[in-house]
Amino acid sequence: MKDKTLVIMAAGMGSRFGGLKQIEPVGPNGEFIIDYSIYDAIKAGFNKVVFIIKEENYEIFKKTIGDRINGHIAVDYVFQKLDNLPEGYSVPMNRVKPWGTSHAIMSCYLKVNEDFIVINADDFYGRDAFMVASKFLDDRAKNNWQEYAIIGYRAINTITENGAVKRGVCELDGIYLKNLIESELTLAKGTLQAVPLNGSKPFTVEPDTYISMNFFAFTKNIITYVKNNFAKFLAANKDNLEKCEYLLPDSVFAEIQEDSTKVRIVPTTAKWYGVTYKDDKEKVVNAIKEMIDKKEYPQNLWKE
C-alpha cells in the first residue's frame, strides 16, 4: 500500500483552549475531536500522522494525545517555530502567534515526502470526508494527476446556530476551484448569508454551495512551494510583520493563478461539528453519542 499521511495543524491548540490541559473531551471516555479525526483517517487507509505543534507543548501533547494512538498508526511530530525564517529575517519583538498555516506546512519539509492530507486539530470532519480524500489520493497516484484537492462540504453542513463562522466559499470552473471567498457565514431565518472578509459586498449562499473547511489533499510539492515563497511573503508584508499570517488558502490560490497546479473539488456528504462557541459543545457531544449508538464508532475509541 502506498503511504498516505495525515497532517494535523495543532500549533494553535494551546492558545485557543487556554492550555492543552483545558481541551474538553467530547467522547464518553475522554476522547477529543482530534481522536475521531485520527480514527477516521485510519479507517480510510492512512498509515501515518504528523502533528504540527509548538515545541513547548510537546510533552503534554504527547502524553495527552500522541501516546494513546501509538500502536494504531505511526506518529511523528514537527515544531512550528517562530524563528524558522529565511536568512536576513528575525522574529519581530512583539510577534507572539505562529506565522500561519502555510508556515505550519513548511515545518513538515523534512518529515513528509509522500502524498498527504491536512486538517485542523479542532474540527470534526466526518468519516466520509476522509474516505473521499483517500480515494482522491489513490486516483491521483494511479492517473498521475498533478493537482491538489479541497474536500468540499455543503454549506448547510458547516454552520452553527450559535453565531457566525469563518468559511471559504468556493467558486468553481467545472470540477476545479476558480475562486475562494473567505467569509463569515451565518444562518438567519433559513437563509445563509456570507460576509466576505475582504470587505466586498455580502451575498446569499445556496445550501449546496461547496465550502472549504481547510481540509486539503496535497502532493509534497506544496511544501516546497510554501518554503520557496515565504521570503516573498515576508517582503510583501514588511510593514506588518508583527501580525501578518502566511495562510495556506492564499498559497494554494497563488499556485492556481501561476498555472502551476489545479485544485479539484472533491465533494463530501459529511457534516462538520466543532466548538466555535461555548454552546456548541453539547451539540458535538450529542452527535458523537448518536454515532456511537449507530455503531459508527466504538464506545471506547482506542481500546476496542
pLDDT digits (tens, 9 = 90+) for 210-239: 999 999 999 999 999 999 999 999 999 999
Show the cell assigned to 161: 446556530
Give pLDDT, residue 234.
96
Confidence of residue 17 (pLDDT cuts 50, 70, 90): very low
Rounded Cα–Cα distance for residues 233 and 242 (Å): 13
Give pLDDT, residue 23.
67
pLDDT average, residue stretch 27-39: 95
Largest CA distance in the chain: 56
Q: What is the pLDDT of residues 252-268, one digit of tens each?
A: 989 998 988 999 999 99
Q: What is the pLDDT of residues 67-78, one digit of tens each?
A: 999 899 999 999
Residue 187 main-chain phi, psi, to 5 deg: -115, 120
Q: Is 12 helix (H, G, I), strand (E, B) or coil?
A: coil
Tell me how far the alpha carbon of residue 282 is from its chain's centroid. 22
- Give pTM, 2 decimals: 0.93
Percentages (nearest 5) of helix, strand, coil residues in the chain: 35, 25, 40
Share of the chain above pLDDT 90, in %: 76
Give pLDDT, residue 43.
97
Q: Which domains, from first to last, does the chain contain?
A: 5-154+210-293 (3.90.550.10)
If 0-12 CB within 10 Å is exposed, 13-18 middle and 19+ buried, where does residue 272 land?
buried
Rounded Cα–Cα distance for residues 49 and 70 (Å): 10
Q: Is 260 helix (H, G, I), strand (E, B) or coil?
A: coil
pLDDT average, residue stretch 85-109: 92
Q: Is 128 helix (H, G, I), strand (E, B) or coil?
A: helix
In our burial notation (b when 16+ CB lie closer than 10 A, e otherwise), range 250-260 reads bbbbbbbeeee
| Mean per-residue pLDDT of the chain | 91
